[in-house]
Amino acid sequence: MELAGKRVLVIGLGHSGRSAARFCALRGARVVAADARSLGELGEFAELGDDVEVCAGGPLPDPADFDLVVPSPGVPREQYAARATCVRGDIELAGLALQVPIIAVTGTNGKSTTVVLIEAMLRACGLRAMAAGNLGRPALDLVGEALDVAVLEVSSFQLEAVERFRPRVALILNLSPDHLDRHGDFASYVDAKRAIFRNQEGEDVTVLNQDDPTVRELAAQVRGRVLLFSRRAPLVEGVCLDGGAVLVRQGGESRRLSLDGLQLAGNHNLENVLAALAAVQGLGADPGQAVKALVDFRGLAHRCEPVANVGGVLFINDSKATNVGAAVSSLEGFSQPLVWIAGGRDKGLDFAPLADAAEGRVKTALLLGEAAPQLETALAGRVAVERVASLEAAVERAAELAVPGDLVLLSPACASFDQFTSFEQRGERFRAAVTSLAHRASSDAAAAAPAAAAPAAPAARSAAKGKESAPSLPRNPKDSE
């Protein structure tokens, strides 16, 4: 896309907006970057240079005055669509500028983990792969890098602003209601996701989840080659589980790949592994080499992240589970009895599926935040429920309720913005509370050890007889915690 001399309006000065402004300015565009937030709220943006005019803290410039509008993903279409003559999001611009095959991943849950898994697997195959997009690094930052493959996480917000985006391999992992406050209804949300394969041709590949009915039905609309993955059913063609291994079946040939080195916990992460291997297969790389990356892959922070084992109770940080579908997958992914911490800001989703997933698995649900009353109503009669005032109080109460062999799971099913600035901050606060709990338990055990080792006084021996000594704490499974 020729940008030299064009007037470009970039709306939003977050990471992707700043990246888009730099990209366009470097290609000779006259760029105005606008944000409703004040200069004080935005912080430093000296990296934009003198070629970008910044408008902050006031009304947005009229999109009709520009040749191109580049909206940040968080900017609703209502702010620009009616007046803009040409709209291209950062994903669209990246798709036009990158000169390497693109693997693009979308879905409601598991996107970030799958994208980074694919990156690791392709590197294990000897390819220069980099991950970017919605997970942190803006997609446009990959332009100019020495690459063989770009792996992009793409959100429904980003897909609203694409017209010609055509990935070599497109993945849709799963679809459940989310962001309905933005899209209006589930059908519109699904329609936004469909844009990931809309421009593909016959030689392109679309990877779909056979186990998700909504995703499976999209196969009839795909113009490229469909490659399925399944955790629950055998497949004649595609990638599926076979006991503790993966079967990769294509063109009448089968390969069985061991999962012995897998470090990720939860059934939902098995699905992410299958999807990533399907993407590798779809690109034409070697799944046998790719699977070797699993030995060293520990997953991402705040996504079913083990924090500490305290007295035989494992604490798991799944703060990224900001919707019902993610929390359901997390609850169903573990076989241990659960003490579940949930709640936050309601996103207008139906909480009823949580009761089905929690019943029989969750001993007690500890609810906090604005959505606690709605969650309590949804779980009534199915799961024992307690309200807690804060995340720290939830951790303390969970430690009282759990017994060795249990798992304490933070999987909120809600946004974080009622009490925190982001799901990352929520996860860090959970991690800090659990770490403090672990340190106190360790100190208490150390203080009790000398007394337990010393001979009992004569008068106390009879009283102590028959009593068990305090159990020793198991070693923390994560060296860094």
Give the β-pairing of 313-317 and 305-310: antiparallel
Q: What burial class does residue 312 get, using C-beta atoms within 10 Å of its C-beta: 0-12 exposed, 13-18 middle, 19+ buried? A: middle
**Residue of 109, 174, 179, 309 marked catalytic:** 179
- Annotation marks residue 134 as catalytic: yes
Contact 149/128 with Cβ under 8 angstroms? yes
- Annotation marks residue 272 as catalytic: no
The two tokens of residue 101 are 């095959």
Which residue intervals of 45-204 are DSSP H helices? Answer: 90-97, 111-124, 156-159, 180-183, 186-194
Contact 360/382 with Cβ under 8 angstroms? no
> What's the rounded Cα separation, in Å, for the pair 113 and 79?
32
> What's the rounded Cα separation, in Å, for the pair 179 and 194?
15
Dihedral angle, C-alpha 73, 75, 81, 87, nearest 10 °: -30
Q: Residue length, the chain?
A: 481
**Residue of 6, 15, 109, 111 marked catalytic:** 111
Crossing angle for the helix pair 267-283 and 324-332, nearest 10 degrees? 110
> What's the rounded Cα separation, in Å, for the pair 135 and 340?
26
**Residue of 6, 15, 109, 134 marked catalytic:** 134
Look up tokens 């959100």; give the residue: 155
> What's the rounded Cα separation, in Å, for the pair 85 and 69?
8
Give the β-pairing of 253-258 and 245-250: antiparallel
- Annotation marks residue 317 as catalytic: no
Contact 86/1 with Cβ under 8 angstroms? no
SS3 92: helix
> What's the rounded Cα separation, in Å, for the pair 252 and 433?
52
Which residue intervals of 234-311 are DSSP H helices? Answer: 267-283, 287-290
Residue 441: count other Cβ atoms within 10 Å of its Cβ.
Answer: 16
Residue 446: count other Cβ atoms within 10 Å of its Cβ.
Answer: 10
> What's the rounded Cα separation, in Å, for the pair 60 and 274?
44
Q: Tell me the catalytic residues.
A: 111, 134, 179
